[in-house]
Amino acid sequence: MKKIMLILCLILTMIISGCWDRNEINEYAFWIGTALDLSESGKLQKSAQVAVPASINSKRGGGGGGNEQRGNIVLTATGTSIVDLEQQIQDKLPRKIFLGQRRSIFIGEKLAKKGLIDIMDQFTRNSDTRMRTDIFVVNNGEGKDVLKINSPFNQFSAIVAVEQDRFCRLGDTALRDVLLDIGRDGIRPSMPMVEITPNNEQEKHETIEVKSVAIFNKDLQMVGKVSGRESLEMFWVKGVLKDQFMTEDTEEGSISLYESNLKKSIRTQLIGNKIKADVKLEGTGRVLENNTDIDISESAERIPLERKLNKIKAKKVEATIKKLQLQYGQDVIGIGEEIHREHPYRWKEIRKNWDEIFPTVEVSVQVKLKIQDSGNIGKRIPGIGDRK
């Protein structure tokens, strides 16, 4: 009986543990970054940044991302469809493509202005696509140029851009976020923009900057961009900015703050044919530099300063929203979505004409930023001229 049980156990073990169609990890080519561009002939061009295992292993002993030997290769193909281009790249590799590790997608500005609707269709159908993949537009350049950068910080420039965006606080926009915006009538898509800074005599490597945001219309065509402070203000109103650094000039001097716990709320009113939107922005601030004679540790001096800073910031945010309305006419901050939630029946009447109506919306902004930390001292360190 024991022999029979032993034989049965062996047979079951062979059946259960059998794995006839598995792929070993060394049979995969890890696709880290994608670039999509428009070729000179007007065709779609796709580039892939693929990991080179041998180069990666050689750097583990002590070499960093700045080694002369690259940890990746960049392959490019030109054609008419995303699927066709992916197969062309597969034909150039001795391993099976694996998209599960892809971190970012870079779109050349020329292609972004032409339109991305056809490109996005493939991303929604391909089950291998990670919805958390970050997506960027390349400012005044092509996506493949970003993939070719040999960064001193990481072997993969596709990962460098993702980390750079995280520290620049420009929304951390993923493919999922863009697809959600495309599917809604009351908001238009936007994407962070990367820019390649040229080499100089001191710097051996090119670097990546993230300081602008691309504005798209409902057909997913890029119609403009905002940069610097305006891009941060836009994302604050949209509700995706969580912290930022701010320096404001007042009559008493300049003051720098680190703002955190940033929040937004939008309330809309429909009065006849007029639409009003009240934007409320909140947060807490920590003083990093105080070049005024104000003692921030004293409530009697701090509270008037808070009010003054809030008024200055509110005017700047209103100017940014006005620029989005009059220069681009695209609601990338989601006022239409608020109308949809608060006035659903009226929204059905106006949603098809929202691009024409959005520039006429009366927007008022209120900022409530509280200074909760004045640093280790209240007043600035006195200079020789201030001493008596």
Taking Cα atoms as reference points, which of 27, 22, 293, 338 lies closest to residue 187? 338
Residue 101 has what pLDDT? 84
- Mean pLDDT confidence for 262-281: 94
Q: Where are the alpha helices (DSSP H) in 169-262?
A: 175-182, 229-238
Residue 12 has pLDDT above 80, yes or no: no
Do residues 180 and 258 both lie within one domain? Answer: no
Q: Rounded to an integer, what distance in angstroms lies between the CA atom of residue 83 and that of residue 101?
A: 18
Nearest-10 Cα torsion for 231, 240, 266, 345: 110
**What residue has token string 């970050």?**
134
Residue 300 has pLDDT above 70, yes or no: yes
Helix orientation angle between 299-323 and 229-238, rounded to the nearest 10 degrees: 90
Q: Rounded to an integer, what distance in angstroms lies between the CA atom of residue 280 and that of residue 232?
A: 15
Do residues 38 and 169 both lie within one domain? Answer: yes
**CATH code assigned at 290:** 3.30.300.210
Taking Cα atoms as reference points, which of 197, 103, 94 lies closest to residue 154? 103
Do residues 40 and 99 both lie within one domain? Answer: yes
Residue 345 has pLDDT above 80, yes or no: yes
Residue 383 has pLDDT above 70, yes or no: no
Of 227, 253, 278, which closes a domain?
Answer: 227
Query: Checking phi first, is residue 248 left (phi over 0); if not, alpha (psi -120 to 50) or beta?
Result: beta
pLDDT band, very low/low/confident/very high, at 145 (cuts 50, 70, 90): very high
- Total structural domains within the chain: 2
List pLDDT tens digits, range 347-379. 999 999 999 999 999 999 999 999 887 765 555
The answer to whether residue 133 is domain-embedded is yes
Nearest 5°: the CA angle 321, 324, 330 is: 125
Residue 20 has pLDDT above 50, yes or no: no
Contact status, residue 134 vs residue 162, Cβ threshold 8 Å: yes
- Mean pLDDT confidence for 222-226: 95
Contact status, residue 31 vs residue 106, Cβ threshold 8 Å: no
Residue 321 has what pLDDT? 97
Cite the beta strand spans of the chain per DSSP E. Answer: 28-38, 44-51, 72-79, 96-98, 104-108, 134-138, 190-197, 207-216, 222-227, 244-250, 253-271, 274-290, 362-373
Token pair, residue 343, equals: 């006035």
Residue 163 has what pLDDT? 82
Q: Rounded to an integer, what distance in angstroms lies between the CA atom of residue 262 and that of residue 369?
A: 9
Residue 207 has what pLDDT? 79
* Beta-bridge mates of residue 106: 35, 136
pLDDT band, very low/low/confident/very high, at 387 (cuts 50, 70, 90): very low
Residue 62 has what pLDDT? 45
- 247: Cβ–Cβ under 8 A, 6 or more apart, which residues? 254, 255, 256, 257, 289
Classify residue 352 by its DSSP letter.
G
When mean pLDDT is compared across 10-24, 78-92, 277-291, 297-311, the lowest value belongs to 10-24
Furthest C-alpha separation in the chain: 104
- Mean pLDDT confidence for 215-226: 95
The answer to whether residue 292 is domain-embedded is yes
Do residues 200 and 283 both lie within one domain? Answer: no
Q: Rounded to an integer, what distance in angstroms lies between the CA atom of residue 225 and that of residue 181?
A: 17
Residue 61 has what pLDDT? 46
Residue 125 has what pLDDT? 77
The answer to whether residue 8 is domain-embedded is no
- Across all residues in the chain, what is the average pLDDT? 84
pLDDT band, very low/low/confident/very high, at 217 (cuts 50, 70, 90): very high
The answer to whether residue 41 is domain-embedded is yes
Taking Cα atoms as reference points, which of 340, 91, 116 lies closest to residue 217? 116
When mean pLDDT is compared across 1-15, 149-163, 306-320, the lowest value belongs to 1-15
- Mean pLDDT confidence for 89-116: 91
Do residues 242 and 344 both lie within one domain? Answer: yes
Residue 5 has what pLDDT? 61
When mean pLDDT is compared across 169-178, 226-235, 261-270, 329-338, the lowest value belongs to 169-178
- Mean pLDDT confidence for 324-345: 95
List pLDDT tens digits, range 24-74. 677 888 899 999 999 988 899 999 999 887 655 555 444 444 445 668 899
Residue 65 has what pLDDT? 46
Token pair, residue 105, equals: 């997608």
Do residues 105 and 210 both lie within one domain? Answer: yes
Of 227, 247, 265, which closes a domain?
Answer: 227
Kind and range of the H or E run holding 355: helix 354-357
How many percent of the chain have pLDDT more than 90?
45
Cα-only R_g, the chain: 26
Q: Which domain holds residue 69?
A: 27-57+65-227
Residue 43 has what pLDDT? 92
Do residues 185 and 295 both lie within one domain? Answer: no
Query: 359 or 203, which is more confident?
Result: 359
Taking Cα atoms as reference points, which of 309, 305, 284 lies closest to residue 294? 305
